[in-house]
Each structure stands twice: as structure tokens, then as C-alpha cells.
Amino acid sequence: MIETNNNSTAPEYIFLVCLKYNKRILTKQPKQMTNHPTGNSINVFNLNELIENIKTLDKYMPSKLALQLPQLQQLYSKGTWHLEEVLKKKNTWSICVDTRQERYKSLGAFCSRIVGIMSGTNASPADIENAKSIVKKLKGIRLHKPNKKDIPNPEDPEAKKERSISRASFDSMYECFADLVSLLSMTEGYEPLNPEFTLEALELLKDQLLQANFSIDTAIANINTARINRNEFLYTEETGLVDIALHAKKYIKGVYGATSLEFKDINKIRFKNFR
């Protein structure tokens, strides 16, 4: 038998190497996909944890109204409402993105059908050629659908750039379609009998495409407003949720002492200001 450098025979050596390799594969843990809550959510959730701990403290009797238990509970309820409002606005934005994508995705093919329909009317060859040029330009536009994980954020320059690229692609396609409809409205002899290709139907489609673009702007504005309201509620100095929670922790520290078991548990509950 062939001897290896480690005094094992070749078959034994190969077996040991394979065993070690397979063990390494089996014991290697796959990377876990995590979905961590945001800092805003953590602040609100931690307030609930603080409230539950306060319920067990018989010496918790602050004279300041904002620190009293009923007010803290109301503060938590309002905090969750603000989180939900932002989430609702994000979901509305996602629906608007999908709706716009659905309206525009087959527009190129539909416009090609319009050119075919023109051949069955009394439209002039010159008008048909002009329509072909517009449709060719329209079909050359590449639509940029926003990434669902990149919810619009006015403070993120990259997100703003991506939004501009996406908006420009849909605006350009709308403008081409509007040019085509305008051409058809001035084309003598364009009187199709197919209902979906009449000027009235095309004008309606044009309005729907424009509204699909505008709905994105409205959705983004609503997200930004909800974020501003949430941040003001959470981080306004002295009256924001985080500052009130921190004052409650300081009060507990004063009542029970920094080395007390009561405060040690409370001190583990973290709050972070983002302002």
C-alpha cells in the first residue's frame, strides 16, 4: 500500500480527510435571515416592557403627571398607533407601485396594436409612419420598478436617486403615449370600430396612466408625513416618548437606588433618541 506523510495508508488518509470535511459541512451553521425591528419600534416596544416592570414596583408614585402609569400606558398606545400609520402608508405605496407596473407593463404591445388598427382605417401612410416612430420610442424605454425593500426615505440620497430614475422612466412612457393619442386625434380617417381603440377609450387610458404616476407621489408624501409625525411623537425634547421613558427610569433610580435589584432590571431596558 502507498504510505502517506502522516503514516496512514492512502485509503485511510482519504477516509479521514473526507470525514473531517463532511463534519465541517454538517456542523457549519447556515446564515440566519433575520428581520430586526427598527430603532423606532424598539423604543415603543421597550416602553411596554418598562410599564410591565413598573406595575410590580410598590414605591413608584411620581407626582409628575406624564410619568404616572395611566399616562405611560396612553403614551404606549399612541406610539403603536404611529408605528402602524407608517406601516399602512408603506403598504399603500407598495399597492400603488404594483398598480402602476400593471398598467404600464403591456403598454408597448398595446401601442403596436394601435398601429395595426390604423392600417384598417383611412389614416394616411404618413400618419401611420409617425405613429410607428412614437411607438418605437415608447418601446425603447426601460421601466425601473422601485425595489420593495427600499421604501422611499427623503433622508437617503441613494433612495432619492433611484426614485428619480424610476419616475423618469414612467413619465417618459406616459409622454410617448400622450403624443400618440394627440397624433391620432389629429389624424383624418382614424375612426376605428373596435371600442378599446377609439379616441375616447385612449383618452381614458391616458388619464389612468397619469393618475398611476400621481398616486406614487401622493403615497410618498403620505409616508413622509407619517414619519415626521412619528418622529415628533417619539423624539421631541422633554415631551417625546423616549425622554419621558428616560425620566421614568431616573425616577426609579432615585426611589430604589442605583444598586437595587429593582433598578438593575429597569436599567436593562434601553431607549435611544434619534434627533
Q: What is the pLDDT of residues 119-178, one digit of tens each?
A: 999 999 999 999 999 999 999 888 777 765 545 565 555 555 555 667 788 999 999 999
Residue-averaged pLDDT of the chain: 85
- Percent of the chain predicted with pLDDT > 90: 74
pLDDT average, residue stretch 21-42: 52
**Which SS3 state, helix, strand or coil, does residue 81 take?**
helix
pLDDT bin (cut points 50, 70, 90) of residue 71 is very high
pLDDT attached to residue 165: 67
User: 69-104 and 157-185 are packed helices; what angle lies between their axes, rounded to 10 degrees?
Assistant: 40
- Does residue 69 carry a pLDDT above 80? yes
